[in-house]
Amino acid sequence: MHDKPTASPVHRAWAAGRRWLDSRTVHRHTVDLFVPLICFGLMLLDVPGLAEGDNPLNGYSATVVLALGASSLLLRRRFPWIPYVVALGLLGWLHELTLVQFALYKIGRYRGRAAAIVATAGYVVCAYLLFLFQRWPEKQADTLPEFLSLVVPIGVLAAGVGVAANRQDLVRELEVQKAHTAALRAVQQERASVARDVHDFVGRELTLLAVRAEVLAVRARGQAHQKDFDELSETARTAHRILNELIVQRARERDPTPGIEALSVLAAEGERAGSRVELDIDAQAAALSPLRQAAVYRVVQECLTNAVKHAPGEAVRVRIALDGAHLRVEVVNGLPRARPAKQPVSAGTGTFSMDERMRAMGGTLESGHHGGEYRVVAVLPAGVQ
């Protein structure tokens, strides 16, 4: 039997560092600002050479130009080709290689392998034309082999690392989707099991109740209580029939849960019930996965139902926004001005179901009175770049 090899201190330290980073949630806007600052810091090392080079820049103007170039990285997630074009411009003017490395990495990260290959080829061709027309400084590369050994590895390595990061993102998202699918499948199986138990046990008791009531009705024929027993028997049969219809309807239910686009229908239904509904939906919410859109729909649906039930006539505000790497759903309605004459029928499980759904997706849900209003706030991972 072979002993399991012991991890080295370096490996243990690396694993501990990864666990520590995974346990910390960094706001996406912080990362968006941090990356350009790193790039700008590396580019500052070239300022003395640029100030002495054959260009009209001095130390201050070179710093400003490099800062503007690095700031283009703020657009790298949605428009990664913009930093790439800016990097090629700095490459042709100042022979600056730092920004192009960041730009190629981001194209590979956010646009995939095909885009990374095209961008790398364009970068190499552009640099070769500069070398061919003697626009490349001799102090960096005097011969073609030296030039290629400098330019090609930079582009290929940066783009390759970006493509690898892109695949890691896809694998991570796939694992999350698999986990969510497995959780939903387990919930569906549990619901099916509960439905079978309800049908077997509750249905049996309702059948016995109906039969017993019929027997008593026969025995009480011609007496004052015969009508009561007949009504009891009919009520039991009706309850049994409704139970079977509900179970069959659940078993046949195959339509997917609506998404973001169906919230307007919920709002219209709420307004028909007497509660004005205001929708404020982030345009980026359309990029959410169907699973997250279904969760948002269920939360808003339950909140609108509760608002109509417990605070009829009060306006409801629904706000859905992408806050960095998180999706925030906020539903607020006013409190009723007077106590209702009759307490609404409620099982008291709506909020629990919403909280359970959010926790299953790695999110949180908070609800309660706040400033004379009732507020429900659900936060879950957005899963979009």
Reported as a single tens digit per residue, the pLDDT across 195-216 is 666 666 676 677 777 777 777 7
pLDDT on residue 3 = 45
Percent of the chain with pLDDT over 70: 78
- Give yes or no for a contact between 331 and 376, defined as CB atoms under 8 angstroms apart: yes
Beta partners for residue 278, in sequence order: 317
Asked if the model's pLDDT at residue 255 lies above 80, the reply is: no
Write down the pTM of the prediction: 0.49
Q: Quickly state the pLDDT bin for 346 (edges 50, 70, 90).
A: very low
**Structure-token pair, residue 128:** 């070769």
CA distance 102 to 168: 18
| Cα gap 88→74, rounded to integer Å | 17
Mean pLDDT of the chain: 78
Instruction: Tell me what the mean pLDDT of segment 323-334 comes to.
Output: 87
Burial of 243 (0-12, 13-18, 19+ CB in 10 A): middle
Tell me the per-residue pLDDT of 65-93, one tens digit each, with 9 for 90 and over.
888 988 998 888 888 899 999 989 888 88
Q: Which of 304, 306, 298 is nearest to 187 (CA)?
A: 298
User: Is 357 within 8 Å of 299 (Cβ atoms)?
Assistant: yes
The string of DSSP letters for 50-114 reads HHHSSSS--HHHHHHHHHHHHHGGGGTTT-THHHHHHHHHHHHHH---HHHHHHHHHHHHHH-HH
pLDDT of residue 168: 85
